[in-house]
Amino acid sequence: MSKDKKLNYTVTSQGSLGLLALGDIGIKLWRDAVKDNPKNKRVKPKNQNEQN
Amino acid sequence: MSKTKRSKVLLIGWDAADWKVIDPLIQQGKMPALKGLIERGVYGKIQTLDPPLSPMLWTSIATGFRADKHGIGGFVEPNPDGTGLRPVTSTSRKVKAIWNILHHKDLKSNVVSWWPSNPAEPINGVMVSNHYQVASKPIDEEWEMPRGTVHPKAMSEDLKQWRVHPNEITLAMTLPFIPNLEKDEELRKAKRTSGVVKVIANAASVHAVSTNLMRTTDWDFMAVYHDAIDHFSHLAMRFHPPRRPEIDEKEFEDYKNVVESGYRFHDMMLERTLELIDEDTTVMLISDHGFHSDHQRPKYIPKEPSGPAVEHSPYGIFVMAGPGIKKGGQRVSGASILDITPTLLAHMDFEVGQDMEGKVLHGVFEQTKEVNMIPSWEEVSGDFGMHDPDLMEDPWQAMEALQQLVDLGYIDEIGDDKLLAVEKAKRENQYYVARNLINAKKWNQALEILERIFEESKITRYGQRLAFVYLSTNKLMKCQSLIDELRILEKESSLENKKEALKKNPNDPFGNADYEEPMYLDFVEGLLNLKINKPKKALPILEKVQKKNPNNLQVAVNIGKILNQRKKYQASEKQFIKALAIDNRNAQAHHGLGVSFLRRKMYAEAIEEFFAATEENFFIPNVHYHLGEAFYKTGYFNEAEQAFSVAVSLSPGMARAHKWLVDLYEHKLQQPEKAAKHEIFLNENIKGDLHIVSGVPGSGYQDFLKMLEENHLDVVVNKKSASPETRYVTGESKKIKEHLDWLAYQKGRIIYIAPQYLSQLPPDYNYKFIYFEKALADIIDSSIEKAGKTNKKKILSLKKLNQLESEISKIEIWMESQPLLQIMVVEYDGFKKDPKPTVEQLKTFFE
């Protein structure tokens, strides 16, 4: 079992659940992609206190 | 890698994960990682504790103790200065967790997000507390890490980066949960949507930091707790297909994928987690309770603290795989959340505390495991990586996490009057501990708490549980008067609740007090009537409860049990089938159905049900006992011997199982040396011989007993009775369970027990039974004769005939179910002609 996942797809700034499921490395790759393209389409919740 | 070559253990917690959701997803190929894990090891259900509240349960999982011992009594605790509330902390835990024991053994543990684990404990390894992932501010403000979140503190700055803020979550990440977000702008602003987004972010944070620690640190034991399945389920299980009529169609369409996607997301995270371990690592994946996902989903959420827990179901999931663990996806039964720590310690070849309330799950191991025991880990001194006793936490840093609990509906809004809130919360925690004690049948401790908090508050929930404790401890007068008091209190509070609910949201079916039903109290009242021997009154009450709650498993099971006790086996069969329609994996329902078959001599069907019950829960002694009985009746004596032996191993004091084993070894298997062992037990534990006579009205048993008296045999009589009909019927013989002391004084005497009360006779006596046999036709004649003037047609009604047959069958059923029963059959005709030989035979029989 490999600790270093080899990715064979392009990481976009939109990210994906798959990237989140990769854990720390997925998040790093995604955040790097966001840095390159910060205009993301997000679901914008209110801040944590107001959400629920 | 660890310095030692010990294989690693990874414990993963998925709060509220339930096989009823997982099974179809696995069948559809939607949870491949979990499927693979199951195939590599064992799986089964895991029983939760009551109340099913996560901080208490996860602490029981990590310690092997219940709440009264481990000290975590609910979601919140008062601040040390008593001026407010804070989320429950790790400093309140009174006993050692498994990671403390492993610290003592020089092993390295990583613990992530365990509930509660803030402040992080100074263990050998890394602890990231359950406050780690909670975002308290918008993304454009600094997101500080609360003090105590990470141990060692030096890693705090580095680990901070793996937190995912809800504002980071993109539409692409959310669409699998809520596809309609693509086109519906309004839906993006919905409160429930925000809730889903926040749960995704929190889950991603926990997974990211745990995968990072798995990759970058040396560890021997790792425990990762995910609360997301529980939170997705509370947010959207009501919208999980199929849609129920009360659910709004649009909301259903919007949120119907949330639960399924939540589980699939966890499977994806599991896949990655499993990639980060080697083949020598043992994996255990568990949940603390399940979550109703089908027709058992509640129609309302009670307006009370922890009300949402009504959606929890009593069985969670258990999966274990790795070196030394059975392979091939075998099912294990009888696991409780209390068993996790003892089982993991045994698996790692460490000592298990004898005082731990769980057991080692021996069924998971490939080879028999020798378990080393010590009296208690609590008595062992030394370094366990625990907090300094005087550690205190700034309560205001914890307020954001507390708000999250308010948002989820687990706790009430904190009012202005903080002192009052603290007082209420303290009482509520004590109530949860009392329920946990009831769950463990520690009645006296529960009673002490409930009497106090009910007296202080007059909160009906507390009173209801108190009524149940009164009932269970035979304080029946107190139980009845409390039920009367609660009826009045409930009527008043129901009106108030209704007003409140209408004020809040008249259109929300889940907030509508009209759905609230005083079911629990009816249930207790039904059981009370049963206990005071008024089954005729008990059944309609319970049936009323069932009518209002047709999907309540426990009600169906209890009605079935009552009907079994009353020997109404066809009716009990219907109830148990109803129970199995609600949950076809319920061991109690399979067992009850099996007993219903057994008593009707449908042995093959009975055996099938008993096997089904053992598959669901292996550790119910009575199931094995009845299985033994069924095998015995069908002539499978070796199988019967095995079943009774298991019953005795699970319940060593079960005298009736020992009796069957003596019978089997002596008379069927010709192994007198084995019989002798059980005889020794019986000689030490059997209280003596009881001489019982039984017979139906019209069988002439009164004449028989009168004759015995005349021949100077010692017959128990009712001195208050003036009628010959009732001379031998004593009040005590009708309520034997309540008069066991009286029974002990009747040793060597002849007691008449009416057929319907024979089953109350306790197993710890030897019985010599005189069966008074008279032809049914003659009994009918006697009955007609007795009816005399009122029965001019000289015909016995069908109802009376049915009654007679039922009474006779009760005697036969009791005789059939009694091991080592010595029976003397007395024929009425022969006795009537010449009683002397019968008297002589009797004297010999009684010697």
pLDDT-wise least confident of B394-408, B673-687, B717-731: B394-408
- For residue B444, the model assigns a pLDDT of 95
In this predicted structure, the answer to whether residue B789 has a pLDDT above a threshold of 60 is no
- Report the share of chain B in percent with pLDDT over 70: 91
Sign of CA dihedral B333, B339, B342, B348: positive
| Owner of token pair 């989820």 | B408
Q: Which residues contact B197 (CB under 8 A, 6 or more apart)?
A: A43, A45, B166, B169, B174
Q: Is the pLDDT of residue B212 over 50?
A: yes
Token output for B570: 């066809």
Of B188, B265, B403, the CB nearest to A43: B188
Average pLDDT (B249-266) is: 98
pLDDT value for B125: 98
Residue percentage of chain B with pLDDT more than 90? 58
> Could you give the 3-state DSSP secondary structure of residue B17?
coil
Q: Is B198 on the interface with A (CB under 8 A)?
A: yes
Searching chain B, which residue's CA lies closest to the CA of residue A26?
Answer: B208
Least Cα separation, residue A9 to chain B (angstroms): 16
B351 lies within 8 A of chain A by CB: no
Task: Give the residue on A whose Cα is nearest the Cα of B269.
Answer: A21
Token pair for B335: 């696991």
Tell me the C-alpha distance between B428 and B419, whole Å: 14
B207/A23 touch (CB, cutoff 8 Å), yes or no: yes
Write out chain A residues lying below 8 Å of B203, CB-based. Answer: 20
Q: Which residues pair with B127 in a beta bridge?
A: B111, B151
User: Does B397 have pLDDT greater than 60?
Assistant: no
Q: For chain B, positions 87-106, list CB contacts with chain A under 8 A.
A: none
Cα B774 to Cα B245, B483, B660, B785, B823: the distances in Å are: 60, 46, 29, 16, 16
State yes or no: pLDDT of B502 exceeds 70: no
> Taken in order B410, B416, B418, B419, is the CA torsion positive or negative?
negative
Q: With contact defined as beta carbons under 8 Å apart, do B310 and B515 qualify? A: no
pLDDT at B509: 44
Angle at which helices B835-846 and B701-710 pack, to 10 degrees? 80
pLDDT at position B501 is 58
Chain A contact for B193 (CB, 8 A cutoff): yes
Q: Within a 13 Å sphere around the CA of B771, how many CA atoms are in the beta-carbon half?
A: 18
Backbone angles phi, psi at B6, to 5 degrees: -60, 140
DSSP codes, B624-651: HHHHHHHHHHTT-HHHHHHHHHHHHHHS
pLDDT at B358: 94
The answer to ipTM > 0.85 is: no
Q: Is the pLDDT of residue B755 over 50?
A: yes
B2 pLDDT above the threshold of 50:
no
Query: Is the CB of B187 inside 8 Å of chain A's CB atoms?
Result: no
Quickly state the pLDDT bin for A44 (edges 50, 70, 90): low
- The reported pLDDT for the residue numbered A8 is 65
Q: What are phi and psi of B239, to 5 degrees?
A: -100, 0
Per-residue b or e along B424-453, where b marks 16 or more CB atoms closer than 10 Å to that residue's CB: bbbbbbbbbbbbbbbbbeebebbbebbbeb
Residue A1 pLDDT level (bands cut at 50, 70, 90) = very low
- Does residue B517 register a pLDDT over 60? no
On the question of pLDDT at B277 being above 70, the answer is yes
- Tokens found for residue B448: 């002490």
Q: Does A52 touch chain B (CB under 8 A)?
A: yes
CA distance B316 to chain A (A): 23
Any B CB within 8 A of A15 CB: yes
**Confidence class for position B67, pLDDT limits 50, 70, 90:** very high
pLDDT at A2 over 90: no
Out of B162, B166, B167, closest to residue A27 by CB: B162
Among chain B residues, CA nearest to A18: B268
- State how far the Cα of B625 lies from the Cα of B636, in Å rounded to an integer: 14
Range ranked top by mean pLDDT from B517-531, B544-558, B588-602 = B588-602
Task: Encode pLDDT of B158-168 as tens digits.
Answer: 999 999 999 99
User: Considering Cα of B148, then B154, then B157, then B163, what sign does the dihedral take?
Assistant: negative
Whether the pLDDT of residue B720 is over 90: the answer is: no
Overall average pLDDT of the A2-19 stretch:
76
Mean pLDDT for all residues in chain B = 88
B372-376, B567-571, B830-834, range with the lowest pLDDT:
B830-834
* Nearest residue to B767 (alpha-carbon basis) of B713, B818, B831, B835: B818
Question: Does residue B258 surpass a pLDDT of 50?
Answer: yes
Residue B795: what pLDDT? 63
pLDDT on residue B787: 63
CA distance B614 to B602: 19
Q: Which of B137, B193, B194 to mutate to test the interface with A (most CBs of A within 10 A)?
A: B194
| Rounded Cα distance, B200 and A15, in Å | 13
CA–CA gap between residue B313 and residue B293 (Å, rounded): 9
Q: According to the 3-state scheme, what is the secondary structure of B262-325?
A: HHHHHHHHHHHHHHCCCCCCEEEEECCCEECCCCCCCCCCCCCCCHHHHHEECEEEEEEECCCE
pLDDT of residue B426: 85
Average pLDDT over residues B128-143: 90
Average pLDDT on B482-506 reads 73
Residues in chain A closer than 8 A to B222 (CB atoms): none
Angle between helices B519-531 and B535-548 (to 10 degrees): 160
Q: What are chain B's domains? A: 9-397 (3.40.720.10), 416-516 (1.25.40), 688-846 (3.40.50.300)
8 Å CB contact between B794 and B723: no
Residue-wise pLDDT tens digits, B308-320: 998 999 999 999 9
Phi, psi torsion values for B293, nearest 5 degrees? -125, 0
Length of chain A: 52
Write down the pLDDT at residue B499: 64
The span from the CA of B295 to the CA of B300, in Å, is 13
- In chain A, residues with a C-beta closer than 8 Å to the C-beta of B164 are 20, 27
Q: Confirm or reject contact between A8 and chain B (CB < 8 A).
A: no
The number of beta carbons lying within 10 Å of the beta carbon of residue B798 is 8
More confident residue, B500 or B822: B822
**Residue A41: pLDDT above 90?**
no
Alpha carbon distances (Å) from B218 to A22, B123, B277, B821:
20, 13, 12, 64
Better-scored residue on pLDDT, B45 or B843:
B45
Higher pLDDT, B789 or B762: B762
A39, pLDDT greater than 70 = no
Task: Summarize the confidence of residues B585-595 as an average pLDDT.
Answer: 94
Cα–Cα distance, B603 to B16 (Å, whole number): 38
Q: Is the pLDDT of residue B364 over 60?
A: yes
Above 70 in pLDDT, residue B677? yes
C-alpha–C-alpha distance, residues B571 and B610, integer Å: 19
- Cα–Cα distance measured from residue B276 to residue A4, given in angstroms and rounded to the nearest whole number: 9
Q: Please indicate whether, in this complex, the C-beta atoms of B167 and A15 are within 8 angstroms of each other.
A: no
Which helix (H) or strand (E) element contains residue B224? strand B221-226
Best CA proximity match to B567, nearest among B806, B815, B817, B801 = B806
Interface test with B, best of A4, A17, A41 (most B CBs within 10 A): A17
Establish if A46 touches chain B: CB-CB under 8 angstroms: yes
- Convert the pLDDT of each residue in B797-847 to its tens digit: 777 777 788 888 888 888 888 888 888 888 888 888 888 888 888 878 877
* Residue B172: closest CA among A35, A25, A34: A34
| Coil, strand or helix at B828 | helix
Question: How many contacts, defined by CB atoms under 8 Å, are there between A and B?
Answer: 124
Distance (Å, whole) CA B557 – CA B576: 6
A39 touches chain B (CB under 8 A): no
Question: Which stretch of B111-120, B239-248, B543-552, B639-648 has the lowest confidence by average pLDDT?
Answer: B543-552
Q: What is the pLDDT of residue B101?
A: 98
Which residue reads 């709004």 in tokens? B248
In a mutagenesis test of the A interface, which of B143, B159, B177, B211 is the best target, namely the one with the most A β-carbons within 10 Å? B211
Q: What is the DSSP letter of B668?
A: I
* Partner B contacted by A35 (CB < 8 A): no
Does residue B400 surpass a pLDDT of 60? no
- Cβ atoms of residues B526 and B541 within 8 Å: yes
How is residue B249 written in tokens? 């169609």
Question: pLDDT-based confidence at B511, cuts 50/70/90?
Answer: very low
